[in-house]
Structure 1
Amino acid sequence: MTTPPTVPLRVALVNGSFEQPTVANFEILPDASQTQAPKFVPGWRTTASDHMIELWRSGFNGVPAAEGAQFAELNANQVATLYQDLPTTPGSTLYWRLYHRGRLGQDTMALDIGSPGAPVEQRRFTDGNTAWGYYTGTYTVPAGQTVTRFAFRSVSAAGGNRGIGNFLDGVFFGTAPLVELTKSAIPVGPLEVGDVITYRITARNEGGGAAENLVLTTTSRRARRTSPDPCASSRVRTRARRPTNRATTRRISTRRRTGSSSTWATARPPYRAAACPAPRPCRRAPRWSTGWSSTGPPAARRSATPPPPPTRTGSATPRNR
């Protein structure tokens, strides 16, 4: 038996698309550290001394969201860094993606990833206020780093005020999708005539990213069994009908369903075991009582002997001619 490889910790940002809490037009709300507040932004924190984050509703001031119905502005009242700290496995590969847009013109921000005490700049993004820019990348967790900070830092903004601008949306940082499958068949064991076989597959995404446009394929084989008939020299072969070798496929979409599971049957309609045919009559039974017979088996014909002539008993008087 081999030891399965170690699965890295599942890593995924909380509220990456800034959909929570719901705002009407725009609101400046406390960050995730202010849990005593009646309304705060889950997942995200800021280095601003007032702990405030600014959220916009899609369409406010003519700016549409890149994903979902809401997005965030990097700075609310102060120039600060927006971040999340996540537990990570050293040596694992993490994936990131994001949308960035300027507010009054060309805005620039930096992406910093690393240990909470010393994150390292990974890339800078500059975009205008007419369209969202989309970016992706990867990050390998260095040895000994069990907590990783994923942060956005304002570099410059149109108009000279770094506290205004740098819109963010559709942010992801975490491990790749990891779909685990379990398969079962009911009933288990020998099949009887009329049994209904039900196959079920459960798919569960244990990874950080959404498993989108996932296609699962399962193949079932035919089962055969043999049973003897009354003649010792021949057998009757019967088959238990199961799904054929043609693969049964299902397409599912598990976007935003990290950690969720789906279950479905793969054999439809139910397959039933075929009835065994009636045993064939034995064709090697002897069909004669006395004398030679051409219908007997060759072995019987070779071993048989002619019956003796009938024996006469008593006396007989000669007939006068």
Structure 2
Amino acid sequence: MKFKSVIAVLALIASSAANASLISNGSFEAPGIQSGWTYLSDNSNGWQGDNIEVWRSGFNGVTSYEGNQHGELNAHPHDGTSFSIYQTFATTANSTYAYSLAYRARSNNDESFRLEIFTGDLNNRDHVVNFEFIDHTTREWSTFASSFIGSGFNTYFMLTSVNPTAATVGNFIDAVVVNDVSAPTSIALLGIALAGLISVRRRA
């Protein structure tokens, strides 16, 4: 392998590792469906909740923001309360985490949902982020991006329907991402890439 090619490959590996999302299945691409929609009740593919509804891009005229599928809140809750989906991931104390998502209203422009990022547990929440989205429309996708500082504890990323409450329509979600963008992580990845580069040069 040529020296320049090795540099390109190692840079790509470092970049991919640095940008790996802590959210699994953030674009709701799993399980893959061929048309229409489905909903899952087995808490599989990263997300947990009463049910996770997945739409194929183009169904009912709604094109996914990213990939071939997107999710929907308000998908057949069992207990008659607001519907939530969530994931958990570990954080490092004082590291910076960037997060982003795409969202769109399904039925009317008055729909809203809440984003919570917190430590603790579902019954005792120490919030890092607690924000209600009220600005989305049925016409197009909106996006949001921000950041938070890690606590070193297990962290929840939760989305909950607000309006409509416990209904079966509303609040499309796509492209959910959480990345560790702290400087120590980037430096460590660069060190790994450089170590690999030195090893390749020695073998050349």
- The normalised TM-score by structure 2 is 0.73
CA contact (8 A) 1:31 1:42 kept: no
Residue correspondence of structure 1 range 124-273 to structure 2 within 5 A: 124-126=132-134, 127-142=136-151, 145-157=152-164, 162-176=167-181, 178=186, 179-180=189-190, 181-182=193-194, 183-184=197-198, 188=202, 198=204
**C-alpha distance in 2 between matches for 1:185 and 1:161:** 57
Distance 1:132 1:187, change over 3 A: closer
| Structure 1 residues 101-120: aligned runs within 5 Å | 101-106=104-109, 107-117=111-121, 118-120=125-127
Per the alignment, residue 86 of structure 1 pairs with 89
Assess if the C-alpha contact under 8 Å between 1:101 and 1:166 holds in 2. Answer: yes
Segments of 4+ in structure 1 off by > 3 A?
A: 160-163, 185-188
The alpha carbon displacement at 1:124 in A equals 1.9
Compared with structure 1, are the counterparts of its residues 114 and 165 closer, same or farther at alpha carbon in structure 2 (3 Å cutoff)?
A: same
1:123 aligns with 2:131: yes
Distance between the aligned counterparts of 1:171 and 1:187, measured in 2?
Answer: 39
Contact 1:112 1:119 in 2 (8 A): no
| 8 A Cα contact 1:81 1:153, kept in partner | yes
Structure that is richer in helix per residue: 2
Q: How many residue pairs align between the two structures?
A: 166
Question: CA RMSD, aligned part only?
Answer: 2.5
Q: Deviations over 1:15-56 (max 9, x none)?
A: 111101011310011243xxxxxxxx400001x3xxx21100
Instruction: After superposition, give the CA deviation of every residue in 1:296-315 in whole Å (9 maximum; x if it has no partner).
Output: xxxxxxxxxxxxxxxxxxxx
- Are the structure 2 counterparts of residues 31 and 187 from structure 1 closer, same or farther at C-alpha, using a change threshold of 3 Å? closer
Which whole-Å CA distance do the structure 1 matches of 2:104 and 2:22 have between them?
A: 23
- Distance in 2 (CA, whole Å) between partners of 1:186 and 1:20 is 37
Counterpart CA distance in 1 for 2:97 and 2:75 is 28
Cα deviation 1:174-213 (Å, max 9, x = unaligned): 312734322237775xxxxxxxx94xxxxxxxxxxxxxxx
Distance in 2 between residues matched to 1:133 and 1:98, nearest whole Å: 9
- Within 5 Å, give how 1:278-293 maps onto structure 2: none
Measure, in 2, the Cα distance between the counterparts of 1:20 and 1:155. Answer: 25
TM-score by length of 1: 0.48
> Displacement of 1:156 after TM fit?
1.0
What percentage of aligned pairs have identical amino acids? Answer: 30
Kindly tell me: are residues 112 and 119 of structure 1, through their superposed partners in 2, closer, same or farther at Cα, counting changes over 3 Å? farther
- Give the number of the structure whose alpha-carbon radius of gyration is greater: 1
How far does the alpha carbon of each residue in 1:50-76 deviate from its partner, in whole angstroms, 9 at most, with x for none?
xx2110000000000000000000121
- The DSSP-based 3-state class of the residue aligned with 1:61 is helix
Indicate the residue corresponding to 2:10 in structure 1: none
From 8, 12, 15, give the equivalent of 2:25.
15
- 8 Å contact 1:150–1:173 — kept in the other structure? no
User: 2: CA distance between counterparts of 1:80 and 1:133?
Assistant: 21
Partner amino acid, structure 2, of 1:124: E
In structure 2, runs of 5+ residues without a counterpart are 1-19
Distance 1:168 1:186, change over 3 A: closer
